[in-house]
Amino acid sequence: MSKQLAFGVIGLGRMGGGLAHKGLNEGLKVVGQDINPPDKKLLDAGLIYIKDYADFVKNLQAPRIILVYIPSGPIIDTVMENLLKVLEKGDIVVDGGNSYWGDSIRRHKKYLKSGVHFLDIGTSGGVAVERDGACFMLGGDKEIVAQVEPVLLKIAMAGGYVHAGPAGAGHFVKLVHNGINYGMAEAVAEGVALLESAPLNIDVAKTLEAYRYGTVIRGFFMDTVAKGYKENNGIGKIDSYVDDTGEVNWLIDDALHMEVAIPSITAAVFQCVASRDSNKYAFKTVAMTRHIYGGHAYGHSKVSAAERYQGREGGYYYNGIDPTTIVHKKED
């Protein structure tokens, strides 16, 4: 009789909890730990909840696989040091958070001598992992990776698994994924801004819905934006402050050291930063400078606006027509 596939999870939040639920649904034994009591549906699904790391040893057979889904930073080392006190040689700890890939290489080397193996795994899938599974991007030694693959393939989306390379590769590949995410989201957002600002009575909601089918831009981002636009009755009431956790800042720094140009990703990150600038010091400085050297007005100027829109004859777009007379209004 073959041994039941099993794994432990530290951190039962959105990602860790979702993967635990997916594992239970796939018939795996799952032992979970969190500083907060788990969701009742996890317990009902069969999760073995523990409070002490030592209970991983009691409830899982060697070699044990422990997935860690907690925020990146020094806390990962704290968790590792505590696990080393109770785990046995040959057990495997897999950091699934958004840790920096350089930190993962350091940890791999640091814990190698302990006999407890350390792997890094980038994980993507959002809130749907509980139902669909995740995309896993794994970094580490081939022999150790082979031991965790049977478990990961059970909770991965079909086709959503790659042993990306050696230690650090999993988190590096995930970091690049996050950068692409920023660039794609920014491109879609700029498209929506154009649709909203066009001097035509465009049905933006229906246009976004149509973009989802047959176009070369169809996919996850278009699906998400179309859904959100419909649910929120447009974007007028959405807070314009764009928050982020900062990982893609690391990627920009890496790109500079690798001398790889990533202008779209970098611009997207700075757009996030610009959204938070309530002081607008840079804009105010430009306005001040232009006022001094060119006599340009502070604030809106009807004279400048007239020049801006009517100073060119025979232009393709406004053709000398005052744009305020043709700009699309939502109430039209």
Report the candidate in 131, 176, 155, 4 with the shortest Cα–Cα distance to residue 69: 155
**Start-to-end C-alpha separation, the chain:** 71
Asked if 6-166 and 174-275 have one fold, the answer is: no
Query: Using the 8-state DSSP alphabet, how is residue 325 labeled?
Result: G
Give 324's pLDDT tier (boundaries 50, 70, 90): low
- Asked if residues 279 and 313 have their Cβ atoms less than 8 Å apart, the reply is no
Handedness of CA 232, 236, 238, 243 (dihedral sign): positive
- Asked if residues 94 and 79 have their Cβ atoms less than 8 Å apart, the reply is no
Is it the case that residue 322 has pLDDT exceeding 90?
A: no
Cα–Cα distance, 72 to 316 (Å, whole number): 52
CATH topology of domain 174-275: N-(1-d-carboxylethyl)-l-norvaline Dehydrogenase; domain 2 (1.10.1040)
Q: What percent of the chain has pLDDT over 90?
A: 82
pLDDT of residue 332: 45
Q: What percent of the chain has pLDDT over 70?
A: 92
- Asked if residues 117 and 142 have their Cβ atoms less than 8 Å apart, the reply is no
Give 302's pLDDT tier (boundaries 50, 70, 90): confident
- Asked if residues 59 and 28 have their Cβ atoms less than 8 Å apart, the reply is no
Report the candidate in 73, 79, 77 with the shortest Cα–Cα distance to residue 33: 79
pLDDT of residue 319: 59
Give 1's pLDDT tier (boundaries 50, 70, 90): very low
Task: List C-alpha distances in Å: 191 to 26, 40, 274.
Answer: 40, 42, 18
Give 287's pLDDT tier (boundaries 50, 70, 90): very high
Task: List C-alpha distances in Å: 264 to 98, 107, 151, 154.
Answer: 21, 31, 36, 35
- Residues 103-156: tens digit of each pLDDT: 999 999 999 989 999 999 999 988 789 999 999 999 999 999 999 999 999 999
Q: Where are the domains of the chain?
A: 6-166, 174-275, 287-325
- Residues 58-71: tens digit of each pLDDT: 999 999 999 999 99
pLDDT of residue 3: 75
CATH topology of domain 6-166: Rossmann fold (3.40.50)
- Residues 196-250: tens digit of each pLDDT: 998 888 999 999 999 999 999 999 999 999 999 999 999 999 999 999 988 999 9
